[in-house]
Amino acid sequence: MRVPNRNIRPSQPPFTALLDLLCGWLLAGIVGGGLLFSCTTTGDLPTQPSTDDPREELLSQIDAADDLFDQRAFDDARQRYQAIYLAANSRRYDREAAEAAAMSAVALTMSNQVDEGKQWLDRAEEKANESDERSWSRLLLARGVQRWKNRDALTARRTFIELYNYCFLHSLTPRAIQAATLASLASQGQEQLDWSMRAIQAAQTTGNIKWQAPLWSSHAWLLDSRGRAEEALEAFEKARDLTGRVDISRLGRLQTDWAYGHGLRMVGKLAEARDLLEQTNAIAHSIYIAKPSPRAAEYLGRVLWEIGEIDDMEGNKERARERFLAARSKMLEAGAAQGAPKLVEKLDARLEALDAPPPARRFTTPRRN
């Protein structure tokens, strides 16, 4: 978070992946204290420190705002960062003000308020100092995200590489991991794979399995998108093995099973793929029935689609047609028409290839005024 291709295909990660990768675990190591940090605090943020050490209090408040950001509660995080900026600026604490301004810029930019985000980035530029690791790494992050949102991938890539080098030099390993992943996101060709692998290698030095699993998954999809099926399967298997060694939700584990099943299909191991995916399908249905949600619907659709591809490869066109229609229904329920129109078009194309036009109300891109 995905992954770098906006035209998502059946052989790519979920349509929510790009935003999740950019704003969730990809940034968490740079923003907050860890890659999988959860937030349990809400409420108003005091603009005046409440301890005898104002700077420590401000840093604590920044960390609390980071927790909100890691949960992608961008508006709440932005309000906190801006309150912190006002408090720090009033005391002429430039480093803390720079941190808060930079993160306000990131939160605004990720909420598609790019122009306002640029104003806060300018404030951070005025206050930041390269000798301060916290504020400077956040400033580089804000620069990179701003450039990425402005579709300047080349400059964004250079900024993320600069961020990686800075974090590596200052032994900020978690942040270096994520900087490498962001550099991969903004790169192309073999360089994209090289940066992805660099992130994995850095994560391996920490011994933190929770950091390694999603990185291997992302790397697998990059290989898959290049048609390197055997290598992709190995990476999918590593991600699945690592995920099996940590405590995650059933839905999280289901995602790695689905991806591994896809990898098996792509190398022609259809019997193994069907066996795994049919089991995964039963689990996906039970999760969806117990607690329907867009994410549960999406992955149920994903699994049905993948099984349909196996049906088609084995010559059972009618069964494949049924699976694709069921998958289409769940993907639309998950919001794919708005979140991933190319994905719906791809599934429609698969239906048409089976001489089975999709339902009368086909998805069409809304006309913009």
For 223-274, the pLDDT digits (tens) are: 999 999 999 999 999 999 999 998 888 998 999 999 999 999 999 999 999 9
Alpha-carbon distance of 263 to 224, in angstroms, equals: 8
Counted domains in the chain: 1
With a pLDDT cut of 70, the percent of the chain lying above it is 82
User: What are 192-201's pLDDT values in tens digits?
Assistant: 999 999 999 9
- Say which residues have a Cβ less than 8 Å from residue 52's Cβ, sequence separation at least 6: none
In a domain, 280, yes or no: yes
279 φ/ψ angles, rounded to the nearest 5 degrees: -65, -45
Task: Tell whether 91 is covered by a domain.
Answer: no
Residue 97 domain flag: no
CA distances to 37, 46, 267, 363 from 74, in Å:
15, 18, 41, 30
Q: Which pLDDT value is given to residue 365?
A: 45
25 belongs to a structural domain: no
Strand, helix or coil at 52? coil
Contacts of 71 (CB under 8 A, 6+ apart): 38, 39
- Comparing CA positions, the residue from 282, 365, 336 lying closest to residue 8 is 336
Q: What is this structure's pTM?
A: 0.77
Does the pLDDT at position 175 exceed 90? no
Report residue 304 as tokens.
């049905």
The H-assigned helical ranges of 226-340 are 229-243, 250-266, 270-290, 294-313, 317-333, 336-339
Structure confidence by residue, pLDDT tens digits, 285-344: 999 999 999 999 999 999 999 999 999 999 999 999 999 999 999 999 999 988 888 899
Residue 25 is predicted with a pLDDT of: 39
On whether residue 268 sits in a domain, the answer given is yes
Query: Which pLDDT belongs to residue 2?
Result: 32
Rounded distance, CA 277 to CA 314, Å? 15
- pLDDT exceeds cutoff 80 at 40: no
Both tokens of residue 270? 């259809």
User: Which runs of E-coded beta strand occur in 141-192?
Assistant: none
Q: Quick check: is 259 in a domain?
A: yes
Q: How far apart are CA 173 and CA 179, in angstroms?
A: 10
Tell me the per-residue pLDDT of 60-101, one tens digit each, with 9 for 90 and over. Answer: 999 999 888 877 788 999 999 999 999 999 999 999 999 999
**pLDDT, position 57:** 93
Is residue 36 one of the residues assigned to a domain?
no
* Band of residue 358 on the pLDDT scale cut at 50, 70, 90: low
- The per-residue pLDDT for range 347-356, each reduced to its tens digit, is 999 999 997 5
Instruction: Return the SS3 of 92.
Output: coil
| Residue-level pLDDT at 360 | 52
Give domain status of residue 46, yes or no: no
Distances in Å between the Cα of 188 and the Cα atoms of 3, 26, 157, 194, 365 are: 12, 18, 10, 10, 28
| Structural domain that includes position 272 | 249-369
**SS3 letters across 232-247:** HHHHHHHHHHHHCCCC
**pLDDT value for 248:** 84
Phi, psi of 59 (to 5 degrees): -65, -40
What is the pLDDT at residue 73? Answer: 85
- In which element (H, E) is residue 89 found? helix 74-90
CA 357 and chain centroid, separation: 33
Among candidates 286, 275, 317, 284, which has minimal Cα distance to 303?
284
